[in-house]
Amino acid sequence: MPRTNPAPASHFYAAHTDNPDDSAPVDADGIQQTVAVALAPLPPGAHLVPEALQTTARLLTGHAQLLLPLAEAKNRARRPAPRGPGLVGYGLAHVRHQLEKVPCPDPEAEAEAALVWVQEMARHCRMLLGLALADDRERRHAAAW
């Protein structure tokens, strides 16, 4: 079940954007911890805490907003325009659509729907983190998709 106060992260990484001198700090450990909390199995009969769901949704939204432009820039850099966006590009477009058009349901009114949204956004953040921090070998593999 999502906790209200995720522990602070201990490691920051620099994920480069289109400009080689420009980088944004990415708190990989903090993002991974938020994802782990969001995807932790719920024991049978567990009570969902709306405040915790709302906090986790807000954290995941922030993580996705940080990581999405980084992942999009890397996808553009490794995939020539005539080939189209590819599977990764379509996945990134789906995440952008989710962020812009599909807000988290109100946890007070629809806790189960909010939990599903949080879990889906956690999976998006896990994918975005992998794309944003992937080394060249991983990016070549992802470009094949």
Which residues, given as ranges, of the chain have pLDDT below 50? 1-21, 145
Contacts of residue 79, defined as CB under 8 A and 6 or more positions apart, other chains included, come to 85, 86, 88, 89, 143
The pLDDT value recorded for residue 143 is 55
49's tokens: 């805490």
Percent of residues, the chain, with pLDDT higher than 70:
75
Threshold 0.85, pTM exceeds: no
- Residue 124 confidence (pLDDT): 97
Cα angle value 129/131/134 (rounded, 5°): 100
How confident is the model at residue 31, as a pLDDT?
A: 95
Give me the pLDDT at residue 142, please.
55
Give residues with Cβ within 8 angstroms of 62, minimum separation 6.
none
Domain extent listing, the chain: 50-143
- pLDDT on residue 77: 81
